[in-house]
């Protein structure tokens, strides 16, 4: 890695080398230490970032708004329903104009088939860095926060750490595939032994599975796909049971109620390693995806994981703006 990351887009971690991601993690850890020590980190004085949201947000919006403030800058929150985007303005025009007003653009657009295309088009015409706050395919901010959390909990290293990305039943709003997809591509790059478990009909795209296996092969880990939830929990060091929607249309007859037992319970947690950690990007569908006894229990690191969103968001902005 040479030079600088200033001006670099942050749309998918596939575009960032492992060395660049490691730098991002190092900066995140440094910013976290300084946050706890009340050391001022005025790295981006007077810089402005525009936050475009096509969907609701809690952790992502607030980590970005608070994060840029703690770096000495300012965020403009943009609800796209009140922008000319809502009247049909194209990504090119929005990207050109907003990038001329400030120093960066961050966008969340999870609409299937168009979200990533929109953010990519925004970046193509922006003179400033564009950050993906979640699209239909990727959630790089969450992926880095998850990786930081795993590294913190397993300081001995991630090589051959058994990590299970598990589909879970939910009745709340349909959730995109971007979180498990990002994890499936990222974790094998750090030598983890990754299991992806889901009922038939909730597959990730074929190219994701192929790339995940290639990443595992290159880095001394492994990647497998199974359809057995209990097997995914067995001896796992990290479990990430989270719902995602069926996007492919391969199984249009899938009945969600048939998979109500795909739930993270204390009984299933007992199958895992004694020091297993439970992770979830939040918000969790309590009572469906997971029992309260698990998410509020001693193995849960969901609040540490959520807090890390601000430290990693600050690192992305500090390095690229």
pLDDT tens column, 204-247:
999 999 999 999 999 999 999 999 999 999 999 999 999 998 87
**pLDDT (average), residues 288-295:** 98
Q: 132-177: per-residue pLDDT in tens? A: 999 999 999 999 999 999 999 999 999 999 999 999 999 876 789 9
Please say whether the structural domain 142-301 has been given the CATH code 3.40.50.1370.
yes
Strand-strand pairing, 74-79 and 48-53: parallel
Number of C-beta neighbours around residue 2 at 10 A:
4
Domain boundaries of the chain, sorted by first residue: 13-139+307-320, 142-301
Percent of the chain clearing pLDDT 90 (strictly above) = 92
In three-state secondary structure terms, 133 is strand
**Global confidence as pTM:** 0.96
Q: How far apart are CA 127 and CA 145, in angstroms?
A: 27
CATH of domain 13-139+307-320: 3.40.50.1370
Kindly report the average pLDDT of the chain as a whole number. 95
Chain centroid to CA 218: how far?
22
What confidence tier does 184 reach under pLDDT thresholds 50, 70, 90? very high
- DSSP, collapsed to helix, strand or coil, labels residue 77 as strand
pLDDT value at residue 248: 61
Paired with 50 in beta bridges are 76, 105
Q: Tell me how far apart the alpha carbons of residues 243 and 264 are, in angstroms, rounded to a whole number.
A: 11
Residue 64: half-sphere exposure toward Cβ, Cα within 13 Å:
26
pLDDT attached to residue 302: 98
CB 299 within 8 A of CB 49: no
pLDDT value for 246: 82
| Residues contacting residue 168 through CB under 8 Å, at least 6 positions apart | 241, 242, 243, 262, 263, 264, 285, 288, 289, 290
What is residue 116's predicted lDDT score, i.e. its pLDDT?
98
In CATH terms, are 13-139+307-320 and 142-301 the same topology?
A: yes
């Amino acid at each position: 890695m040479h030079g600088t990351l200033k001006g670099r887009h942050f749309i998918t971690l596939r575009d960032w080398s492992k060395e660049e991601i490691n730098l991002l993690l190092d900066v995140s850890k440094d910013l976290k230490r300084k946050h706890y020590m009340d050391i001022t980190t005025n790295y981006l004085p007077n810089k402005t970032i525009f936050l475009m949201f096509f969907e609701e947000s809690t952790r992502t919006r607030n980590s970005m708004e608070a994060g840029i403030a703690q770096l000495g800058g300012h965020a403009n929150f943009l609800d796209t329903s009140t922008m000319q985007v809502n009247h049909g303005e194209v990504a090119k025009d929005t990207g050109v104009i907003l990038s001329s007003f400030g120093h960066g653009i961050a966008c969340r657009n999870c609409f299937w088939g168009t979200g990533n295309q929109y953010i990519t088009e925004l970046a193509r015409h922006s003179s400033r860095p564009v950050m993906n706050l979640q699209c239909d395919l990727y959630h790089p901010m969450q992926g880095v926060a998850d990786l930081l959390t795993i590294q913190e909990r397993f300081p001995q290293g991630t090589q051959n750490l058994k990590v299970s990305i598990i589909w879970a039943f939910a009745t709340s709003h349909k959730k995109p595939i971007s979180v498990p997809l990002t994890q499936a591509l990222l974790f094998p790059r750090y030598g983890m032994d990754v299991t992806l478990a889901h009922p038939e009909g909730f597959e990730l795209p074929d190219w994701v599975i192929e790339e995940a296996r290639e990443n595992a092969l290159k880095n001394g880990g492994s990647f497998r796909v199974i359809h057995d939830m209990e097997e995914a929990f067995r001896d796992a060091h990290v479990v990430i049971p989270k719902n995602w929607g069926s996007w492919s249309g391969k199984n249009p007859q899938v009945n969600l109620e048939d998979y109500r037992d795909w739930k993270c319970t204390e009984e299933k947690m007992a199958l895992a390693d004694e020091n297993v950690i439970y992770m979830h990007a939040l918000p969790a569908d309590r009572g469906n995806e997971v029992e309260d006894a698990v998410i509020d229990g001693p193995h849960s690191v969901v609040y540490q994981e959520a807090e890390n969103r601000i430290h990693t968001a600050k690192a992305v902005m500090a390095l690229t703006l």
